[in-house]
Every structure is written in C-alpha cells, then in structure tokens.
A and B are shown apart, each in its own frame.
Chain A
Amino acid sequence: MSEEGKTSWFARLKNGLKRSSSKLTTGIADIFTKRRLDDDALEEFEDLLITSDLGVTTAAKLSAELAKTRFDKEVDSAEIQQFIADEVAKILEPVAKPLVIDPTKKPHVILVVGVNGSGKTTTIGKLAKTYKDQGLKVMMAAGDTFRAAAVEQLKVWGERTDCPVIARDTGADAAGLAFDAIDQAKREGYDVLLVDTAGRLQNKAHLMDELKKIVRVITKRDETAPHDTLLVLDATTGQNAHSQVETFSQATNVSGLIVTKLDGTAKGGVVVALAEKFGKPVHAIGVGEAAEDLRPFEARSFARSLAGLED
C-alpha cells in the first residue's frame, strides 16, 4: 500500500505471479510425480487448468494437445509445467502488445471502461504516472460522475501524479465533461487524455447506452477519438470475463485489455481463453495499489509463471 517501490518491479511481479500459480504447481507435482498419462491423469490435468480459470473449453483443448504426443507415456511434473508454459505462451504472444501513444494526436484520448470495482480509476492513476515519467503531458477527466466520491478519488491521483484533473460535480453529464476535457487538452497542448467512466455491469442496457453516448460525444469533438478504449478486468473474475469483453466491445470499440489485481492469488487464467476467443491486445497488468504497480503484459513470463516455472 505504501509507495515503497524498494523491491524491484520484477521481483514483485514474480512474487505476485508465483502466488498465483503456487496451487497449480503443487497440483501438478501431486498428479505427475512420474506417472503414466492415462484418462484419469488427463482429467485431473484438465481440472487443474480449470482451477486457474482457464475455462472448460481451453482446458479441454490443452489436454487434447497434451494427449496427442504424450498419451500412455510416462510423464513427470517438470514436463507438464513446461508443456503448459509453452502452450499458454503460444496463445498469449499475439495479444501481448504495449499501448503506444501517438504524439501527433495531442491529445491521444484513452477511454477507460469496465464493471464496478475492477480497478479503472487506479489504473488511470498508474497510466498517468507511466506517461508522465516518459515526459508526456498528461491530463485526466473524472468521467465517473455517478459513484459517491469517485471524483475526489481521481483528484487524489491527480495530486499524486501531478497531472490536472478535469472534473464536475457528481451527477453532471459525463459525456459533456469528456467533450470539454478534450477541448481544454487541445488548447493547452496535452499529449494524453485519460477519461475515467463509472463502473457498470454489462447486462444493463441503459448504462451501456450511456457509454455509447460518451463515445459519440467524444467523437463529435475529435473524429479520430477515442484513440484507445481500455477494458479493465479484475483478475479474480471467472468466466463472466467473456461476457464483459463481448458486451463492452459491442458498446464501445474496446481496443485492449488491462488485467488488475494480479498480486493476489487469482490466476487470471481467463485471459488465456479471452486471447483465444477475442484476440484483443492485453496491454498491461496491475500488481498492486501504488502508482508504479503497472507492468507491461509479457506472454512468456506470464505463461511460465502460471505454470509455476521460475524465470
């Protein structure tokens, strides 16, 4: 919680991810200490993947893949871990893309969306820090005009990162606020504008319509904007993440994902299934609550850590 940042980010990441995978690792060790890969073993293998939120379909696919070359053969845990790491990395590599700011946009408008409590506001604070550290001029817009004290929350992030926050009172029109923020960012030559939105459940049609309206109004002010729309996903989320990606993408043109709270034990395995199904870029991961706790998403290290392998 305190912004100590003493331990290297890499150590923190590994620490976080190790916790994510420790159960999988023990599980693998339990099942595969030298054992013939029969139907029972395969089923247990699938179950393990399911406990990492990979989902039934992806788990079945990986297990079929494993059976293809290893069925009836002696396997051990190291081999299984390597197999998971390789297969998962293969799936994730195409989606591991950083979010690149186009310096000619002035501002590059980034709209941040997601369900309640997924970590949108915190992620905006972290992104602001990241871009500011790169020497860019960053502005934020407090587009959550619904939730109590959401505006104050983003203002604190403005102070922490020393970036201006455009805000109105709770209850004000979010779309109008975004419009004005773009105006001001253009006038004052900002490179990046991060627009926060209220958390909303994707099955509420009227709230999704409201989001569409925000996009329409942004586009009215700058027809190339929003240049990116980020869906923030909580790593503890299970299979509902599919519905989130699908529905938010229908409402707003979601250009990429950010996965938060990977510093817990949640395995974030659903990301693997999402990559297969939607192919949306995963830009970054959140591994804590401090401003510096945002990391690039790296397929190989994510996959190796998920499989419980040290880098």
Chain B
Amino acid sequence: MFEGLSDRLGGVLDKLRKRGALKESDVKEAMREVRVALLEADVALPVVKTFISNATERAIGADVLRSVTPGQMVVKIVHDELKNMLGDGEEINLASTPPVPILMVGLQGSGKTTSSAKIALHLTKKRNKKVLLASLDIYRPAAQQQLKVLADDNGLGILPIVMGEKPVSIAKRAMDMGRKEGYDAVILDTAGRLHIDMELMSEVAQVRDAVNPVETLLVTDAMTGQDSVNVAKEFAEKVGITGIVLTRVDGDARGGAALSMRQITGCPIKMLGVGEKIDEMEAFHPDRIANRILGMGDVVSLVEKAAENIKAEDAEKMAKKLRKGQFDLNDLLSQLKQLQNMGDLSGIMGMLPGMGALKKQMSQTKIDPKLLTHQEAIILSMTPKERENPALIKASRKKRIAAGCGLSVQDVNKLLKQYQTMSTMIKKMGKMGKKGLFGGMPKMDPAMLEGGDMPDLNNLPKGLTGGGGGLPPGFPGLGGGGGMPPGFPGFGKKK
C-alpha cells in the first residue's frame, strides 16, 4: 500500500524541495497537485479538503516562505499534516474485567473473520492473553465453519457452534463460556452488513447492548473508495465504534481509506492486516506510515523486524567487518539466512527509503524465493577456504561446486559476480562515512530532509550496477535474480 501515493507526492514535493525562493502561487500550485494525488489515492473528499486548506495555510505563512529552505519546510508541513490525519497509534484496549468483549463489525467481504482470528493470535502471542473466538455470522454460508477452522488450526479457543441460535444468544453464551473458563478476552465476529440495512444494524446494536464491548472495531478494506465516508459514519452513529482495523494493506491500493478513516470517525486505527496468513497482522504506527508515504521508507519498522530475527552480537560483528570493507562469502551466506528469516523480500524492500521503484521492479521480475535457497546451496558446497577467499575459485573449482549443489556453473558465476559487485559497493560505502547504512541506521525524521546526510540509495556511484537491467543503480545482481542490498546486519542495532 501507499507506493502509488508516495510516488506521486514524491514527484510534486521533489520539485518544491529543489527550489530556492517560493512564491505563494508556487505553493498553491503544488497543493493542487497534492490534492489530485490524494484523491487518486481514494482519500475521502472532505478529508482532502481539510488537509489542503490546513497545509496551504501553514505553508504560505510568512516565516515559511521567507526561510532559507522554503521547499523543505513545505515538505515537512505536508508530512506533519499527514501524520495528523493518521492520528495516534493505539493498542487494543483490554483494560477491563476479563473476559473483555471485543466486537468486530463491518461491510460484507471486508475481512472480519480473518481479522478476528488474527487479533486473537496477536493477543495470545504478543500480550499473553487467553482469547475465545465466537462467530455470530449465521447468514453467510459456512461463515461459522470458517472461524472454527481458523481457530482449530491455530490452537485458539472457539465457542462450539449451535445451529439455529440467534446472534444475541450466541454472544451471551460466548461471554458465559469466557467467564467460566477463565478467558481474558472474547472476540465476537459478526456477519457482514450494509450500513443502511436497518434490520441488521439494529441486530448488531442489540448484541452490543447484551455484552457491552470494550472495543468495537470497524473492519475496513484498504481498497475502499469514497464510500468509506458513508460506511464509517453510519457504523459510528448506529453501533458506535472504538477503533479501525484496516485489511489488505499488503495490496497495491494507495491507502486513502487509511488516511480518511481516522478523520471521519475520530477513532484510531488499531491494527493492519498485511497478508492472508493468520500471523500477518501488525500494530499501526502513524509516523512510520507518514514517512513511508513521503518515500522516506519505514526504516523504524525495518529495524524492528530485523532485530527480531538477527542476533545482536552477530549484527555487531558483521557491522564492524563491513565498516572495514571486509566481506567474504561467509558473510553473504549469513545475510542470505537472515533474509530468509525475515520473510517476504518485497515486504522488506518497501520499508527502505527510496525503494518504492525497486520494489515494483522486484514484483515484476518476480524474484523467486527459491533463489535464496539456491544461492545458499552454492556457498554451502564451497570449502571454508573458498568462502573466505573467493578469488581461489577458478574453473575447475566452479565445476565441483556446481556439481555439489546440483546447479550449473553459470549459477555459480552469477553468485560470484554478485558477490563481487556487493563487496566493491560495500568498500565504497564504508568510505562514505559512519553515518551511512553501516553506522547503524540513523533514526529517520523529517528534519533529515534538511540535513541531507542520509545516503540516497538511488544515487550511489554509477558502475556499481551489476547488470541489473533497468534497476536503479546500486542494487547489484537483482536483475540477474536474487541479490540483496548489502548491510542488512547493520540494522540489527536498535536506533
């Protein structure tokens, strides 16, 4: 999500950033373009209007235009306003006597059932809670069955299905079971309903009155268009909601719904669904999203993700080596392993600054996750000496290695070439100074824009491209399949 919007806004704001003096008319022109970009991203019109008028007002304020770097100031204002629009990130509220009832509501097909199971798993794993699931969807064929399968597959508690029971009684029975069996929370999944279907809206209101939920979460699809205004308003009015769960954030929607929901309902976005698997749900961090939209990359998420998977000492060791410009095939091997642990490559790429374009390219060239395994196999069939000193690897050794891993000499060559380009690049980057990627990731904040001491990954010296076709320079071998940006280990240190 957000790539499209980030590309569009990036273009508009880049123009501004590069300019010296700015006139009021320049700002207004830029804001018109920002407006179109937001609308094309499906941000609700009323929200766009408020956004543009606030941002414009601040941007043409006297001190901005007279400042030394007016363009950057305007970019910062847009960033701040975006952050405002997204509101604060908040955890799911469990501060009440257990079992805490959580009610899931939303339109048909928005993703309630999957999200219910995901939240149950999240609360179980991340917050150590015992959670009971119950399906109140007596309408859609096999809906109750669906939740039961998800619960059983993931070892989550589920209320036994009683055919013919009405939603309100199911809800009461779930709370009873929750109390009797010592659950911390009970998640009530309801049938999808139209916000204008009075009968069903009053049914869900009755459920609410029967259990007094601590959280009523509106589940919304990130691909929703301008209708999100109507839906959110009606649910807020008729049922009352306490938070938003945004689903299908892993799609290529531009994320307007995310930007609108908070504004329209006044409720925080609490969780993001980022994949079909039950563990693919994340807490929501507005500042990171704002950074991501402005093409600054979600560096903080990346650091956390990396930290979860990379042992701190390893990372420290690696960072040191890299800083000195030493990098052998053992290091490449451990990077490959880390990348595999970190999961979906393209997901990671999207978090890096300036990588929107590369990510697109990756999904087009379709990097096969198998490639990582292949590369690993190649290195593993080398002798320790060869790994430390790849220069040893000549024709006959290549043949042996290829035979050892069941791949071709060409594959071995590809890997070696990629290693070459990476290590050249690492040496150069090492020289670029400690502030760069290898000094631990600098904390991203909009002020960085003004400082400009962040190495722009797209502007690395030419000639480092490893035959990557149309790829942005600096990512050796990606086009040839399966390279990766160097230096992931350097991310292991938190801030």
Chain A contacts to B: CB under 8 angstroms? 1, 19, 23, 47, 50-53, 55-56, 115-119, 146-150, 152-153, 155-157, 170, 201-206, 209, 234-240, 243, 261, 263-267, 269-270, 289
Contact = CB atoms under 8 A, between A and B. Distances in A.
B140 A47 contact: no
- Which of B142, B200, B250 is most buried by chain A, counting CB atoms within 10 A of its CB? B142
Interface string B118-151: 0000000000000000000001111101111110
B146 A147 contact: yes
B258 interface: no
Nearest to B224: A236
B78 interface: no
A74 B96 CA distance: 61
B433 to A, nearest CB: 36
Given A117-B110, A152-B145, A263-B194, A202 B225 contact: no
B153 A240 contact: no
Interface stretch (B37-45, B235-243, B319-327, B454-462): B37-45
Interface stretch (B226-234, B307-315, B392-400): B226-234
Of A148, A150, A202, chain B has the most CB atoms within 10 Å of the CB of A148
29 contacts: A53-B42, A55-B40, A56-B36, A56-B40, A115-B251, A117-B108, A117-B109, A148-B145, A148-B147, A148-B153, A149-B143, A152-B141, A153-B142, A155-B142, A201-B251, A205-B364, A234-B223, A236-B224, A236-B225, A236-B231, A237-B224, A237-B225, A238-B253, A239-B42, A261-B109, A264-B194, A264-B231, A267-B227, A289-B139
B57 interface: no
A239 B41 contact: yes
Given A156-B142, A205-B363, A264 B107 contact: yes
A115 B248 contact: yes
B276 interface: yes
A52 B229 CA distance: 11
Given A148-B146, A152-B142, A243 B195 contact: no
B172 interface: no
Contacts of A236: 107, 221, 224-225, 227-228, 231
Interface of B: 36, 39-42, 45, 107-111, 139-143, 145-150, 153, 194-196, 200, 221, 223-231, 248, 250-254, 256-257, 276, 363-364, 366
Given A1-B139, A264-B227, A265-B195, A47 B45 contact: yes
Q: Is the interface of A mostly helix, strand, loop or mixed?
A: loop
A209 B369 CA distance: 14
A250 to B, nearest CB: 11
B145 A266 contact: no
Contacts of A243: 252-253
A119 B227 CA distance: 18
B225 A115 contact: no
Contact of A148 (B149, B225, B366): B149
A52 B42 CA distance: 11
Nearest to B152: A148
B144 to A, nearest CB: 8
A157 B228 CA distance: 30
Given A1-B139, A149-B142, A149-B145, A265 B231 contact: yes
Nearest to A148: B149
A55 B45 CA distance: 11
Given A19-B196, A157-B141, A265 B45 contact: no
Nearest to B194: A264
Contacts of B36: 56
A276 to B, nearest CB: 15
Given A116-B248, A119-B109, A239-B41, A270 B225 contact: yes
B59 to A, nearest CB: 20
Contact of B141 (A23, A148, A156, A238): A156
A269 B256 CA distance: 16
B276 A51 contact: no
Given A118-B109, A236-B224, 19 more contacts: A51-B229, A53-B226, A56-B39, A115-B251, A152-B142, A153-B141, A153-B142, A205-B363, A236-B221, A236-B227, A236-B228, A236-B231, A238-B225, A238-B253, A239-B41, A239-B225, A261-B194, A265-B195, A265-B227
B41 A203 contact: no
A84 to B, nearest CB: 16
Contact of B223 (A23, A115, A146): A115
B281 to A, nearest CB: 15
A57 to B, nearest CB: 9
A289 B141 CA distance: 11
Chain A CB within 10 Å, residue with most, of B140, B148, B229? B140
Contacts of B150: 148
Contacts of B251: 115, 201-203, 240
Contacts of B111: 116-117
Contacts of A116: 109, 111, 248, 276
A52 B225 CA distance: 9
B327 to A, nearest CB: 30
Given A50-B39, A263-B194, A201 B145 contact: no
Contacts of A153: 140-143, 146
B195 A264 contact: yes
A234 B109 contact: yes
Nearest to A153: B142
In this complex, the member of B139, B194, B196 whose beta carbon has the largest number of chain A beta carbons within 10 angstroms is: B194
Contacts of B254: 239-240
Contacts of B41: 239
A149 B107 CA distance: 19
A50 B415 CA distance: 50
Contacts of B363: 203, 205
A261 B108 CA distance: 8
Nearest to A53: B225
Nearest to A19: B196
B221 A50 contact: no
A238 B222 CA distance: 9
Contacts of B256: 238
Nearest to B250: A201
B258 to A, nearest CB: 12
A23 B253 CA distance: 25
A243 B363 CA distance: 14
B321 to A, nearest CB: 34
Contacts of B110: 117
A199 to B, nearest CB: 9
Nearest to B150: A148
B252 A201 contact: yes
Contacts of B276: 116, 146
